[in-house]
Amino acid sequence: MTAPPAPSIPLVDLIAQHRALERELSEAFARTLDSGQFVKGPQLEAFETELAEACAVPHAVGVGNGTDALELALRAAGIGPGHEVVTVANTFAATAEAIVAVGADPVFVDVGPDDQLIAVDRVEQAVNARTAAIVPVHLFGRPCDMPALRTICDRHGLALIADAAQAIGSNGSDGPVTAEADLSTLSFYPGKTLGALGDGGAVVTPHPALAEEVRRLADHGRRSKYVHEVVGRNSRLDAMQAALLSVKLAHLPEWVLRRRRIAQRYDRAFDDLPGVVAWRHEDSGSAVHLYVVEVEDRDRLRDDLARAGVHTGVHYPEPLHLQPAFRRWRRSALPHTEALARRIVSLPVYPEMGESEVERVIAAVTGAQGRRPPRRAR
Ligand SMILES: *Cc1c(COP(=O)(O)O)cnc(C)c1O
């Protein structure tokens, strides 16, 4: 008799996470239900306070989702028609959607060849009299070079608005990277490192006036109940999601540690594997929202891993400047962005992943790349 095949390994396992937190989540649900208050109120206020602390900023505003967070941050910073916003094309569509939604034009610049993140020298070249903001994306949780971007923003009077949807828990040069922009935006999409049980997002900022403006815009342009000072909208974080997120936020530090440990184990295993480029995670500050390697034959590796029961993803297969929706903002080829899109593959990483699953992924990758796994101790 042959043994039953081992269960396949997902990219993320939300069921395992929620099973571990079932009692705490149920209690938070019951508490919110009993409170009868589902929009605004104490659950939201408590979560915003905890989130601001985790992000090392004085202000956090819960909003409907990560895309709204970006749009509201841009509007709060005064970005609108006639403005250009410098960003990258190797990101989720939301980054550019938000820029277009406020009436500005996205200007896509290339990434560095080695780190996938916005190339500071390309940003410098893209700045002109219409430029109003820079929107770096801390892709996969890897922190962009915020001190260098800050220097450019200060020199030209630009807003620095970071898409930190993948970067909660990530550290920059001096603590949480979320403290290093004028506004940083977060997503609590379920698959994110801190995920709601539905949609959610937040804007975090060191500036009280910007926090107030985001709050006003997200709540029908009002500060008091019946006075609408500007034309706003409705984009709030539900009290129920806030209560559930408070439960999860308390576990974020241990989750980030576990994600980093898995990433470093992968790094060591893939270090000198032929045809694979693994960026080192030691001291990178990344909270490892995604673990991504570059490989020569990406599609073949994905097929091999699928056969071994290892799920993979590609973040993202088609850069935005080549997408039908955003092609009209393409100004030039982005060689590094385009080359990377053909080479990247995301491997499973989630805090509930056991050692045996990590070793199975390593064995599947090293096997597929035609070499035996390296010895554990080095
Ligand atoms: C998830 C994500 C968003 C959008 O967040 P939603 O909550 O899904 O609207 C924006 N930017 C990046 C880089 C993301 O990964």
163 Cα: distance to centroid of ligand 1 (angstroms): 8
Q: Note the pLDDT of residue 280.
A: 85
Q: What are phi and psi of 219, to 5 degrees?
A: -125, 55
233, 218 contact by CB (below 8 A): yes
Q: Note the pLDDT of residue 282.
A: 82
Q: Note the pLDDT of residue 13.
A: 92
**Integer Cα distance of 147 and 161 in angstroms:** 13
pLDDT tens sequence for the chain (378 residues):
567 778 899 999 999 999 999 999 999 999 999 999 999 999 999 999 999 999 999 999 999 999 999 999 999 999 999 999 999 999 999 999 999 999 999 999 999 988 899 999 999 999 999 999 999 999 999 999 999 999 999 999 999 999 999 999 999 989 999 999 999 999 999 999 999 999 999 999 999 999 999 999 999 999 888 999 999 999 999 999 999 999 999 999 999 999 999 999 999 999 989 889 888 888 889 999 999 999 999 999 999 999 999 999 999 999 999 999 999 999 999 999 999 999 999 999 999 999 999 999 999 999 998 754 444 444
Q: Which atom of ligand 1 is nearest to the CA of 166?
A: 15
Give the 3-state secondary structure of residue 16. Answer: helix
CB 137 less than 6 A from any atom of ligand 1: yes
Q: Note the pLDDT of residue 149.
A: 98
195 Cα: distance to centroid of ligand 1 (angstroms): 11
Among protein residues, the one with the nearest Cα to ligand 1's atom 2 is 165
316 Cα: distance to centroid of ligand 1 (angstroms): 12
365 Cα: distance to centroid of ligand 1 (angstroms): 28
**Residue to substitute in 11, 63, 67, 203 for testing ligand 1 pocket (most ligand atoms within 8 angstroms of CB):** 67
Q: Note the pLDDT of residue 235.
A: 98
348, 9 contact by CB (below 8 A): yes
Which two three-digit tokens encode residue 72?
């509201």
Q: Note the pLDDT of residue 279.
A: 86
Strands across the sheet with 276-278, in order? Answer: 276-278, 291-295, 344-347
Sign for the CA dihedral angle at 299, 304, 306, 310 comes to negative
Q: Note the pLDDT of residue 320.
A: 98
CB 92 less than 6 A from any atom of ligand 1: yes
Question: In this structure, what DSSP letter does residue 363 have?
Answer: H
186 Cα: distance to centroid of ligand 1 (angstroms): 8
Residue 251, C-beta contacts closer than 8 angstroms, at least 6 positions apart: 21, 351
Closest to 291 measured CA to CA, from 264, 310, 325? 264
CB 193 less than 6 A from any atom of ligand 1: no
In this structure, what is the dihedral angle of CA atoms 251, 256, 257, 258, given to the nearest 10 degrees?
90
CB 235 less than 6 A from any atom of ligand 1: no
CB 185 less than 6 A from any atom of ligand 1: no
94 Cα: distance to centroid of ligand 1 (angstroms): 6
**Integer Cα distance of 97 and 125 in angstroms:** 23
Which two three-digit tokens encode residue 185?
């935006």
280, 268 contact by CB (below 8 A): no
CB 140 less than 6 A from any atom of ligand 1: no
**Integer Cα distance of 193 and 287 in angstroms:** 8
Among protein residues, the one with the nearest Cα to ligand 1's atom 7 is 66
pTM as predicted:
0.96
CB count in 10 Å sphere of residue 323: 15
DSSP 186-248: EE--TTSSS--SS--EEEEES-HHHHHHHHHHHBTTEEETTEE-S---B----HHHHHHHHHH
Q: Note the pLDDT of residue 378.
A: 41
Q: Note the pLDDT of residue 377.
A: 43
CB 144 less than 6 A from any atom of ligand 1: no
Which two three-digit tokens encode residue 271?
């270090």
358 Cα: distance to centroid of ligand 1 (angstroms): 26
Among protein residues, the one with the nearest Cα to ligand 1's atom 5 is 66
CB 200 less than 6 A from any atom of ligand 1: no
366, 374 contact by CB (below 8 A): yes
Q: Note the pLDDT of residue 371.
A: 53
Q: Which atom of ligand 1 is nearest to the CA of 94?
A: 10
CB 71 less than 6 A from any atom of ligand 1: no
Q: Which atom of ligand 1 is nearest to the CA of 289?
A: 15
